Amino acid sequence: MKAADKPLRRAPAKGSKPRELKQERAVRTREQVLSAAATAFAERGFPAVTMLDVAELTGMTKGAVYFHYANKEALAVAVAEEFYQRLPLITEKVRKAGLPPVQAVAELLHRTAAAFRDDTIIQAGARLQIESSLIDATLPRPFDGFTESITELLGEAKEAGELPASCNPEVLGRVLVAAFFGMQHISWRLNNRADLTTRVEEIIEAALPQIKKPAHEAS
């Protein structure tokens, strides 16, 4: 029978697990592989990691890893894509909190810093972006999404009269993203991210001086 004539679904062999269970397990396995790859990329960088390293981290065979991802480049792309799934979720959560816009920008920066400190996918995604010239695949375009989220909130802040008339939300958005990007990189290299959330407070205070500090912190 020609390949095109093959039925799409085969009846499960006697004694085999129902399709849904197998699919759930496959999804879980794929997530485990992605998470192991993120750990390896975050800690050692794309060039140093092999598919065998990823397999060993998961306790699976190399074949099992290759079943889910064709090569190391595919893993890098998948980790980077997951990074850009997670960043907007932070914005979504902050928006749901319904804070005044300037406060929301501060909260977004703060939570993003905590995510860079705690989330391996995010750490790996950021590292892969700076290593992108060493990766023979197209990664998602960096910075645009985050810049847009911040600029949008700053635009709302301006409309609400929370920012000085001279403040251009697009310019301040770019400045904040550049500052954040540099800050998280420096914190990683110099302090293994231990000071990430304190350093982000400095950015917030310097760039958004109109934010009222809690009374006990005001000097």
Given the rule CB under 6 A, which residues bind ligand LUB?
87, 126, 129, 142-143, 146, 177, 180-181
Q: Report the residue number, 57 or 126, with the smaller CB distance to ligand LUB.
A: 126
DSSP label at residue 15: T
Amino acid identity of residue 193, one-letter, is R
DSSP label at residue 168: -
Alpha-carbon gap, residue 37 to 40, rounded angstroms:
5
Q: Which helix (H) or strand (E) holds 199?
A: helix 196-207
Alpha-carbon gap, residue 23 to 208, rounded angstroms:
48
Convert 112-147 to b/e letters by CB count within 10 Å (16 or more is b): bbebbbebbbbbbbbbbbeeeeebeeebbebeeebb
Alpha-carbon gap, residue 59 to 76, rounded angstroms:
20
Do the Cβ atoms of 105 and 179 come closer than 8 Å? no
> From the CB of 198, what's the least distance to ligand LUB, in Å?
17
> From the CB of 156, what's the least distance to ligand LUB, in Å?
19
Q: Is 76 helix (H, G, I), strand (E, B) or coil?
A: helix
> From the CB of 201, what's the least distance to ligand LUB, in Å?
15
> From the CB of 114, what's the least distance to ligand LUB, in Å?
13
DSSP label at residue 142: P
